[in-house]
Protein backbone atom coordinates (compact mmCIF):
# COMPACT_ATOMS: atom_id res chain seq x y z
CA UNK A 1 0.00 0.00 0.00
CA UNK A 2 1.33 3.42 -0.92
CA UNK A 3 1.53 5.84 1.97
CA UNK A 4 -1.03 8.63 1.49
CA UNK A 5 -0.36 12.27 2.38
CA UNK A 6 -2.64 15.02 3.68
CA UNK A 7 -1.96 18.77 3.96
CA UNK A 8 -3.92 20.79 6.49
CA UNK A 9 -3.28 24.52 6.41
CA UNK A 10 -3.34 26.23 9.81
CA UNK A 11 -2.82 23.01 11.74
CA UNK A 12 -0.82 24.46 14.64
CA UNK A 13 -4.00 24.58 16.75
CA UNK A 14 -7.80 24.45 16.80
CA UNK A 15 -9.85 22.72 14.12
CA UNK A 16 -6.83 22.32 11.82
CA UNK A 17 -4.78 20.53 14.48
CA UNK A 18 -7.65 18.20 15.40
CA UNK A 19 -8.18 17.37 11.71
CA UNK A 20 -4.47 16.63 11.23
CA UNK A 21 -4.46 14.27 14.21
CA UNK A 22 -7.61 12.49 13.03
CA UNK A 23 -6.12 12.01 9.56
CA UNK A 24 -2.91 10.67 11.11
CA UNK A 25 -5.03 8.17 13.07
CA UNK A 26 -6.59 7.14 9.74
CA UNK A 27 -3.08 6.37 8.48
CA UNK A 28 -2.09 9.49 6.53
CA UNK A 29 1.31 11.14 6.69
CA UNK A 30 0.71 14.80 7.43
CA UNK A 31 1.90 18.19 6.25
CA UNK A 32 1.41 20.70 9.06
CA UNK A 33 1.27 24.31 7.92
CA UNK A 34 1.39 27.40 10.12
CA UNK A 35 2.26 31.11 9.84
CA UNK A 36 3.40 32.22 13.32
CA UNK A 37 2.78 29.49 15.91
CA UNK A 38 5.92 27.38 15.53
CA UNK A 39 5.53 25.88 19.02
CA UNK A 40 1.97 24.74 18.28
CA UNK A 41 3.01 23.31 14.91
CA UNK A 42 5.86 21.32 16.49
CA UNK A 43 3.53 20.01 19.21
CA UNK A 44 1.09 18.84 16.52
CA UNK A 45 4.00 17.12 14.75
CA UNK A 46 5.02 15.34 17.97
CA UNK A 47 1.50 14.04 18.49
CA UNK A 48 1.39 12.78 14.91
CA UNK A 49 4.77 11.08 15.17
CA UNK A 50 3.63 9.41 18.40
CA UNK A 51 0.87 7.83 16.28
CA UNK A 52 3.56 6.32 14.05
CA UNK A 53 3.01 8.67 11.11
CA UNK A 54 5.35 11.16 9.47
CA UNK A 55 4.84 14.89 9.98
CA UNK A 56 6.36 17.58 7.78
CA UNK A 57 6.10 21.07 9.30
CA UNK A 58 6.06 23.99 6.85
CA UNK A 59 5.91 27.66 7.83
CA UNK A 60 4.10 29.52 5.04
CA UNK A 61 1.75 32.47 5.05
CA UNK A 62 -0.96 31.18 2.74
CA UNK A 63 -1.93 34.76 1.88
CA UNK A 64 1.28 34.96 -0.17
CA UNK A 65 1.26 33.02 -3.47
CA UNK A 66 5.06 32.69 -3.58
CA UNK A 67 5.01 31.07 -0.11
CA UNK A 68 2.25 28.73 -1.30
CA UNK A 69 4.35 27.64 -4.27
CA UNK A 70 7.38 27.00 -2.05
CA UNK A 71 5.27 24.96 0.35
CA UNK A 72 4.01 22.68 -2.43
CA UNK A 73 7.52 22.40 -3.88
CA UNK A 74 8.66 21.11 -0.49
CA UNK A 75 5.74 18.68 -0.27
CA UNK A 76 6.66 17.37 -3.72
CA UNK A 77 10.34 17.02 -2.75
CA UNK A 78 9.64 15.23 0.55
CA UNK A 79 6.58 13.10 -0.22
CA UNK A 80 6.20 13.34 -4.02
CA UNK A 81 2.41 13.13 -3.68
CA UNK A 82 -0.67 14.68 -2.10
CA UNK A 83 -4.01 12.95 -1.56
CA UNK A 84 -5.90 15.36 0.70
CA UNK A 85 -5.85 19.12 1.12
CA UNK A 86 -7.82 20.69 3.96
CA UNK A 87 -8.01 24.45 3.45
CA UNK A 88 -8.44 25.45 7.08
CA UNK A 89 -6.12 28.44 7.79
CA UNK A 90 -7.98 31.69 8.33
CA UNK A 91 -7.42 35.16 9.66
CA UNK A 92 -9.23 38.44 9.35
CA UNK A 93 -9.93 41.92 10.58
CA UNK A 94 -13.10 42.30 12.64
CA UNK A 95 -14.44 45.83 12.19
CA UNK A 96 -17.73 47.53 11.34
CA UNK A 97 -18.18 48.36 7.64
CA UNK A 98 -17.29 52.04 8.04
CA UNK A 99 -13.98 51.25 9.76
CA UNK A 100 -12.66 48.76 7.22
CA UNK A 101 -9.53 49.87 5.38
CA UNK A 102 -8.05 48.52 2.15
CA UNK A 103 -5.26 46.72 4.03
CA UNK A 104 -7.83 44.95 6.25
CA UNK A 105 -9.77 43.79 3.19
CA UNK A 106 -6.66 42.59 1.34
CA UNK A 107 -5.26 40.75 4.38
CA UNK A 108 -8.53 38.91 4.99
CA UNK A 109 -9.30 38.09 1.36
CA UNK A 110 -5.74 36.92 0.65
CA UNK A 111 -5.63 34.43 3.52
CA UNK A 112 -9.23 33.23 3.44
CA UNK A 113 -10.13 33.28 -0.27
CA UNK A 114 -7.11 33.74 -2.55
CA UNK A 115 -5.21 30.99 -0.72
CA UNK A 116 -7.83 28.40 -1.70
CA UNK A 117 -7.44 29.14 -5.42
CA UNK A 118 -3.65 29.04 -5.49
CA UNK A 119 -3.30 26.13 -3.04
CA UNK A 120 -5.92 24.17 -5.00
CA UNK A 121 -3.99 24.75 -8.25
CA UNK A 122 -0.79 23.40 -6.71
CA UNK A 123 -2.61 20.58 -4.89
CA UNK A 124 -4.31 19.51 -8.13
CA UNK A 125 -0.95 19.19 -9.90
CA UNK A 126 0.27 16.79 -7.19
CA UNK A 127 -3.03 14.93 -6.81
CA UNK A 128 -3.46 14.18 -10.49
CA UNK A 129 -0.09 12.36 -10.54
CA UNK A 130 -1.72 9.63 -8.41
CA UNK A 131 -5.17 9.59 -9.97
CA UNK A 132 -6.99 12.22 -7.90
CA UNK A 133 -7.69 13.51 -4.41
CA UNK A 134 -10.00 15.46 -2.15
CA UNK A 135 -10.17 19.09 -1.08
CA UNK A 136 -12.26 20.37 1.84
CA UNK A 137 -12.35 24.00 2.97
CA UNK A 138 -13.59 25.38 6.27
CA UNK A 139 -16.13 28.19 6.11
CA UNK A 140 -18.36 29.96 8.61
CA UNK A 141 -21.96 31.16 8.90
CA UNK A 142 -20.88 34.74 8.18
CA UNK A 143 -20.69 33.71 4.51
CA UNK A 144 -24.48 33.56 4.32
CA UNK A 145 -25.80 35.71 7.16
CA UNK A 146 -25.00 38.90 9.03
CA UNK A 147 -22.59 38.66 11.97
CA UNK A 148 -21.50 41.79 13.82
CA UNK A 149 -18.03 43.13 12.84
CA UNK A 150 -17.65 40.19 10.46
CA UNK A 151 -17.96 41.91 7.05
CA UNK A 152 -14.48 41.23 5.70
CA UNK A 153 -14.33 37.65 6.97
CA UNK A 154 -17.93 36.90 5.95
CA UNK A 155 -17.31 38.11 2.40
CA UNK A 156 -14.03 36.17 2.22
CA UNK A 157 -15.85 32.99 3.30
CA UNK A 158 -18.62 33.65 0.74
CA UNK A 159 -15.91 33.80 -1.93
CA UNK A 160 -14.43 30.57 -0.57
CA UNK A 161 -17.82 28.83 -0.86
CA UNK A 162 -18.31 30.11 -4.43
CA UNK A 163 -14.79 29.05 -5.36
CA UNK A 164 -15.56 25.60 -3.92
CA UNK A 165 -18.31 25.23 -6.56
CA UNK A 166 -16.03 26.33 -9.44
CA UNK A 167 -13.19 24.08 -8.31
CA UNK A 168 -15.60 21.14 -7.92
CA UNK A 169 -16.60 21.40 -11.58
CA UNK A 170 -13.21 22.08 -13.14
CA UNK A 171 -11.18 19.64 -11.03
CA UNK A 172 -13.71 16.80 -11.40
CA UNK A 173 -12.04 15.68 -14.64
CA UNK A 174 -8.84 15.10 -12.63
CA UNK A 175 -10.85 12.96 -10.15
CA UNK A 176 -10.51 15.63 -7.50
CA UNK A 177 -13.54 16.10 -5.24
CA UNK A 178 -14.04 19.55 -3.71
CA UNK A 179 -16.40 20.56 -0.88
CA UNK A 180 -16.57 22.71 2.25
CA UNK A 181 -17.75 22.54 5.86
CA UNK A 182 -19.21 25.63 7.49
CA UNK A 183 -19.49 25.92 11.24
CA UNK A 184 -21.34 27.84 13.89
CA UNK A 185 -19.24 29.35 16.71
CA UNK A 186 -16.61 26.95 18.08
CA UNK A 187 -14.73 27.96 21.22
CA UNK A 188 -11.18 28.04 19.82
CA UNK A 189 -8.42 30.68 20.06
CA UNK A 190 -9.92 32.31 16.96
CA UNK A 191 -12.76 33.67 19.07
CA UNK A 192 -10.29 35.64 21.23
CA UNK A 193 -10.06 38.10 18.33
CA UNK A 194 -13.82 38.71 18.31
CA UNK A 195 -14.66 42.00 20.05
CA UNK A 196 -18.04 40.46 21.01
CA UNK A 197 -16.70 37.00 22.06
CA UNK A 198 -18.64 36.67 25.34
CA UNK A 199 -21.92 37.68 23.74
CA UNK A 200 -21.36 35.31 20.83
CA UNK A 201 -20.59 32.34 23.10
CA UNK A 202 -23.55 33.06 25.36
CA UNK A 203 -25.89 33.28 22.36
CA UNK A 204 -24.55 30.04 20.86
CA UNK A 205 -24.92 28.19 24.19
CA UNK A 206 -28.40 29.48 24.82
CA UNK A 207 -29.98 29.44 21.36
CA UNK A 208 -28.53 26.49 19.45
CA UNK A 209 -31.48 24.15 18.83
CA UNK A 210 -29.21 21.14 19.43
CA UNK A 211 -28.91 22.37 23.02
CA UNK A 212 -25.13 22.83 22.98
CA UNK A 213 -22.42 24.61 21.05
CA UNK A 214 -20.57 23.14 18.10
CA UNK A 215 -17.35 21.48 19.23
CA UNK A 216 -14.11 21.01 17.32
CA UNK A 217 -14.82 17.28 16.88
CA UNK A 218 -18.22 18.06 15.27
CA UNK A 219 -16.37 20.00 12.57
CA UNK A 220 -13.74 17.27 12.16
CA UNK A 221 -16.45 14.59 11.81
CA UNK A 222 -18.03 16.48 8.88
CA UNK A 223 -14.63 17.02 7.25
CA UNK A 224 -13.87 13.31 7.57
CA UNK A 225 -17.21 12.42 5.99
CA UNK A 226 -16.41 14.65 2.99
CA UNK A 227 -12.97 13.05 2.76
CA UNK A 228 -14.45 9.54 2.81
CA UNK A 229 -15.58 7.55 -0.20
CA UNK A 230 -19.15 7.60 1.15
CA UNK A 231 -19.50 11.21 -0.02
CA UNK A 232 -17.99 10.81 -3.49
CA UNK A 233 -21.10 12.09 -5.28
CA UNK A 234 -21.29 15.27 -3.15
CA UNK A 235 -19.57 18.03 -5.16
CA UNK A 236 -19.09 21.74 -4.56
CA UNK A 237 -21.29 21.77 -1.46
CA UNK A 238 -20.91 23.50 1.86
CA UNK A 239 -22.25 21.38 4.71
CA UNK A 240 -23.38 23.47 7.67
CA UNK A 241 -22.49 22.14 11.12
CA UNK A 242 -24.17 24.52 13.53
CA UNK A 243 -26.63 22.55 15.66
CA UNK A 244 -29.39 24.34 13.75
CA UNK A 245 -28.69 27.92 14.90
CA UNK A 246 -28.67 29.34 11.36
CA UNK A 247 -32.27 28.14 10.93
CA UNK A 248 -33.46 30.73 13.44
CA UNK A 249 -34.37 34.23 12.28
Query: What Cα–Cα distance (Å) separates residue 55 from each residue in 30, 82, 227?
Result: 5, 13, 19
- CB 103 → ligand NAP: shortest distance, Å? 14
> Residue 100 or residue 172: which is nearer to ligand NAP going by CB?
100
Decide: is 151 part of the binding site for ligand NAP (CB under 6 A).
Answer: no
Return the number of the residue (12 or 179) whose C-beta is nearest ligand NAP. 12
Q: How far apart are CA 180 and CA 119, in angstroms?
A: 15
Report if residue 91 touches ligand NAP, rule: CB under 6 A.
yes
Exposure class string for 69-87: b at 16+ Cβ within 10 A, else e: eebbeebeeebebbbbbbb
Using only C-alpha atoms, the chain has a radius of gyration, in whole angstroms, of 17
Residue 88 in the binding site for ligand NAP (CB under 6 A): yes
Q: Does 246 bind ligand NAP (CB under 6 A)?
A: no
User: Closest distance between ligand NAP and the C-beta of residue 131, in Å?
Assistant: 28
Residue 206: count other Cβ atoms within 10 Å of its Cβ.
9
Residue 37 interacts with ligand NAP (CB under 6 A): yes or no: yes
Only one of the segments 48-56, 89-97, 169-177, 229-237 lies at the binding site for ligand NAP (rule: CB under 6 A); that segment is: 89-97
Q: Does 224 bind ligand NAP (CB under 6 A)?
A: no
**Contacts of 54 by beta carbon, 8 Å cutoff, 6+ apart:** 3, 29, 30, 48
Q: Does 222 bind ligand NAP (CB under 6 A)?
A: no
Q: At what angle do helices 65-78 and 115-129 cross, to 10 degrees?
A: 20
Among 5, 6, 14, 79, binds ligand NAP (CB under 6 A): 14
- The number of beta carbons lying within 10 Å of the beta carbon of residue 127 is 25
Q: Which of 5, 56, 90, 135 binds ligand NAP (CB under 6 A)?
A: 90
CB of 34 to ligand NAP, least distance (A): 3
Which residues have a catalytic role annotated?
A: 150, 157
> ∠219-23-3 over CA atoms, to 5°?
155
Shortest separation between residue 175's beta carbon and ligand NAP, angstroms:
25
Q: Which positions ≥6 away from 160 have C-beta within 8 Å?
A: 87, 112, 113, 116, 137, 139, 143, 180
Per-residue x/- track, 174-203, ligand NAP (CB under 6 A) = ---------x-xx-xxxx------------
Interface residues with ligand NAP (CB under 6 A) are 9-16, 33-37, 61-63, 88-91, 111, 138, 140, 183, 185-186, 188-191
Amino acid sequence: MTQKVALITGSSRGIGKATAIRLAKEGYDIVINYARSKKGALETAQEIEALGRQALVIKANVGDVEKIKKMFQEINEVYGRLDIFVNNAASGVQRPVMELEESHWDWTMNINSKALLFCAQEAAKLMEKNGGGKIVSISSLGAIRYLENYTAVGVSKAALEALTRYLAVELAEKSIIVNAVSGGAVDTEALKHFPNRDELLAEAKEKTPAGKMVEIEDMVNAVMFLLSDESNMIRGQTIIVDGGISLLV
